[in-house]
Amino acid sequence: MRLIDQIMMKNLWLGCWELAQQFMQAFFLGLQVVMCYTILFFPIIVHNNDIKDILAFITLNFSECHFLYMTIYYRYVCTIQDFFNSAGTLRRVHEFLEFADNNWKEVADDEAEIDKRVKFCSDGNEVFKFDSVCYETPISPSKVLMTDLNFTLKKGENLLVSGYSGSGKSAFLRIITRLWKIKSGTFTMGISDNEILVIPQKPYFPTGNLTLRQQIIFPKLIDDRNVSDKGNEHC
């Protein structure tokens, strides 16, 4: 509900800006006819001319006044639009800077706390080690998926994680790849991030003019531009 309220308030403010812009356009668009007739009113009343001369004067000068006014009006409307667009952009930049000023310390403390929970140790034979790890969904309200997880996966061992849908299997992979944060406990990694490969349920192929070998070893990079087709057959 809090997110919905924030979205509604943002749309309300944007609607107010848009309403003001539309009002200014409609106001000056209707004012052009009044201004043109006002300009022509004084010479017609002051000079007592023949009706034919008055009609010719109105026809000639009204078109000129209308053209000049439309030129001024177009420039003014463009200026108003640029002003409102700039005001909206500056407001969003101000909100971002204000959010950064208010939350940078909290984010820095949170990152420091995460670094304390995740350790790296490549000296032993352990690949992953979980000590009383608890993790939950990152959304609010959060849902605890695992509590007091303790196990060690060593090099050369295989681990099969099974369970019903929604039990936290994919979340476990997100914890290993550090896409999600752990709530408590200690997670020790014996390998680097480059040695972890997650194969999703839905196959992903990166876009671009890539060879089959480049697709398979992704995200690692290799230049196959100078490799002949005969050489690729043996890859």
DSSP-derived secondary structure for the chain:
-HHHHHHHHHHHHHHHHHHHHHHHHHHHHHHHHHHHHHHHHHHHHHS---HHHHHHHHHHHHHHHHHHHHHHHHHHHHHHHHHHHHHHHHHHHHHHHHHHHHHHHHHHHHHHHHHHHEEE--SSSEEEEEEEEEEE-SSSS--EEEEEEEEEEETT-------STTSSHHHHHHHHTTSS-EEEEEEEESS-GGG-----SS-----SS--HHHHHHTTS----TT--HHHHTT-
Q: At 235, is the pLDDT very low, low, confident or very high (cuts 50, 70, 90)?
A: very low
Whether residue 105 is found in the same domain as residue 14:
yes
Taking residues 88-110, what's their average pLDDT?
A: 71
Whether residue 108 is found in the same domain as residue 152:
no
pLDDT at 14 over 60: yes
Taking residues 58-80, what's their average pLDDT?
A: 67
Mean pLDDT, the chain, whole residue set: 72
Taking residues 80-97, what's their average pLDDT?
A: 74
pLDDT at 162 over 80: yes
213 lies in a domain? no
Whether residue 80 is found in the same domain as residue 127:
no
**What pLDDT is stored for residue 206 in this prediction?**
72
**What pLDDT is stored for residue 226 in this prediction?**
57
**What pLDDT is stored for residue 70 in this prediction?**
66
Residue of higher predicted confidence among 98 and 228? 98
Taking residues 207-235, what's their average pLDDT?
A: 66
Q: Is this prediction's pTM over 0.75? A: no
150 lies in a domain? yes
Whether residue 99 is found in the same domain as residue 135:
no
Last residue of a domain, one of 195, 214, 230: 195
Range of the domain at 160: 121-195
228 lies in a domain? no
pLDDT tens sequence across 18-53:
777 677 666 766 666 666 666 666 666 655 555 556
**What pLDDT is stored for residue 184 in this prediction?**
87
